[in-house]
Structure 1
Amino acid sequence: LGNLNLKEKEEIRNQITWYKKYRSLMQFGKFYRFIKEKENRVNFQVAEEDGSIAVLGNFQILQKPSPGFDVLHFKGLKPEERYHVETVKATMDIDSFGELLKHVTPVKLKPGGLILRNARKFYRLPHNVETYEAYGDLLSSGLRVNQQFMGTGYSKETRMLGDFGSQLMTAEIKGGRINGE
């Protein structure tokens, strides 16, 4: 821990805060193991018995080139209830892009150079930021999430999993109707 920069320590603090909020669910919730839909992907989920909240983990083994869209299926949710779904906030070290960094920055930077070594102390790239509202039956049928990074182009909608990457999504009952229905 002594070698971590301020942003890395902040990331760890955020992860601990998140876990404390969902500790009971993670320890005592109903655990679901999903059948592999893709050879490089494993999904697990923990949900409250009453279907009020769920945390789905999407774990990637190795990144495939041009991977296409992923569809995530939740289990144990109430079909008629409206859920707010969001990814757990995460950031990544800008160093992890290596030579691909030239595709996401407006100027050319040398990987491992002075500018990036200093920038990584104060900045981490937010990634996998997604928010949805949907009914439980739709989430059970499958939620198509944002496209993964394919080697070129980057926007705030791009997911960055990479080799051995992961993302967590929470689904919590929100109540009411979507778009005033």
Structure 2
Amino acid sequence: MNGEMHQICCIVAAGKRALQYGEPIRYTPAQYENAITFSCLPGKLFSETKRCIAPRIETWVEFLQSKGLQDIALACPTDVTDKTILGFSNTTESSVLCFYQSGETSYFAPNWQFDPEKRLWNTEYSEYRCPDSPSEKPRFENNTDSFRQALSDIEKLAIQIRCEGFAHIFHSAKNLLDGIGE
């Protein structure tokens, strides 16, 4: 799994947990991450034109909750035109879907930039309105158990092929899914 996909999956999992249990979001950045910022659409549910910048993931979740955030989900395309470029930054086309109580839907798309001085990555997620969103929030099947099993299987494979760093990533993702902090 590349760093972009890892980050977006962790953000969605941590955000869903925070919403489900009414607690602050718990997100631990990976060692290659520097800053994560969020460029949000205006607070009056998209009627104004000035964007709001949330400098931290905690601020982002609080801002979205003030706008009536009901749920978030991962949007991940399954059909990729050129699989050979997936290891590069800004190629996954994945996003964070946000569903609001008003029926509005938006998505946050990431843009990764490498900071050569710090030798770390900065990520800015920009929010966009979903113009043709359905009138009701889509119902998604709960695949938590099969996802947990897939993470466990990949972790075991990574250990077998002596890629302990990747094994740790999948172990951490499984812990995050189960609400266990690092």
Whether TM exceeds 0.5 here: the answer is no
Give TM class, smaller chain.
Answer: under 0.3
Higher helix share: 2
Please report the TM-score for the alignment, with normalisation by the length of structure 2. 0.25
Please report the TM-score for the alignment, with normalisation by the length of structure 1. 0.26
Greater RCO, 1 or 2 (C-alpha within 8 Å, sep 6+): 1
